[in-house]
Amino acid sequence: MPISTKVSRACSPTNRGPQPKSFLLRLTVAVAAVLMLLTPTACRQKGLVCPAGESHVVEVVFDWEAAPNADPEGMTVWFFPITAGGRIWRFDIAGRSGGRVELPSGRYGMIAVNSDLRGATVADLTSYLDAKATARPAGSNPASAMSTGMLFGGKVADLTVDYGGDDGVSTVVCRPDSMAVIYTIDIRNVEGLERMRSASARLGGMARSVTLATGATSSDTCYTVSPLANPTASALSATTSGFGTPASGCNFNLTVEATLTDGKRYARQFDVSDQVRNSRYPRNVYIYIDSITLPATGTPGGGDDDVGLDVGVDGWQQIEIDITTGI
């Protein structure tokens, strides 16, 4: 809760002549006390909320050795009491370096995540082991999700807050790491791009959420849809992000959906499970598709409500999309 400092102003005496020394001494002491109240020792960062009552200063230091290129706008930190019945404290710290907070004495589990997380929410903040990040829904389909963006998470399982060192400050070092997976989709040697109006890549099979304290992923899955760019005359590419392989271990499917210049929409699905699971860099997965040919315009098949085409056009298959699961 915020610290409120109230200053009472004494009434000015009607006689403005010389004041007794004892009065001036009392006035000097009062002014000094007011200045001390107006200069808090721990709540110097804008936006920090300090608990009332007896509290101790904690210097939170973020060590970015595991994610040296991370540059978050700030970090949100939660302190979960290990002793039953305690209060959960949240602080927003600007920048990536860290800052000072004030906490009541006790033992806590600490979790920190970047505050500029756009495609996911942090939920289940009832305990240290329950807190998780969940991908935001992207539409009415319950299986759809936004690209999560980068999630940097750090934790300290057991932190004791007391009077600290000689200066009364306790220091805790938190080492955030990337908890999201970036998927780069690269489709080469594409024929018929002159017939394409637009295209997208739908990647399905990613975990919906991740537990922040343990890194364990959920069993429920989701998919993201990303526009495919046309970087060269014969290539398509896209980038998306999520929380990696689900606990259920289901397959990863990449569906390329294309709208041609005649207004018809087509789709082709690829099983990319091996590429995802055997990636050399588990947090930066590269998905490569080689040599596909878009169908010719005027090909009989899907209308505006279809997402596929008739069988037999250069390996493309008509795909029935389940409107419930989106897969």
The pLDDT, as a whole number, for residue 308 is 37
- Domains contained in the chain, CATH given: 56-178 (2.60.40.1120), 181-293 (2.60.40)
The pLDDT, as a whole number, for residue 251 is 93
Strands 106-114 and 152-161: antiparallel
The pLDDT, as a whole number, for residue 326 is 46
d(CA 169, CA 112): 20
Spell out the alpha helix ranges (H) of the chain.
21-37, 273-277
d(CA 36, CA 43): 13
d(CA 205, CA 249): 8
d(CA 327, CA 143): 8
The pLDDT, as a whole number, for residue 317 is 64
The pLDDT, as a whole number, for residue 110 is 98
Other C-beta atoms lying within 10 Å of the C-beta of residue 44: 10
d(CA 58, CA 114): 19
Per-residue tokens: 83: 């002793």
Distance of CA 60 to the CA centre of its chain: 20
Please state the length of the chain. 327
* CB distance 152 to 255 below 8 Å: no
* CB distance 112 to 80 below 8 Å: no
Positions in the chain short of pLDDT 70: 1-53, 164-166, 298-327
**Nearest partner of 118 among 150, 73, 145, judged by Cα:** 150
Burial track 71-91 (b if 16+ CB lie within 10 A, e otherwise): ebebbbbbbbbbeeeeeebeb
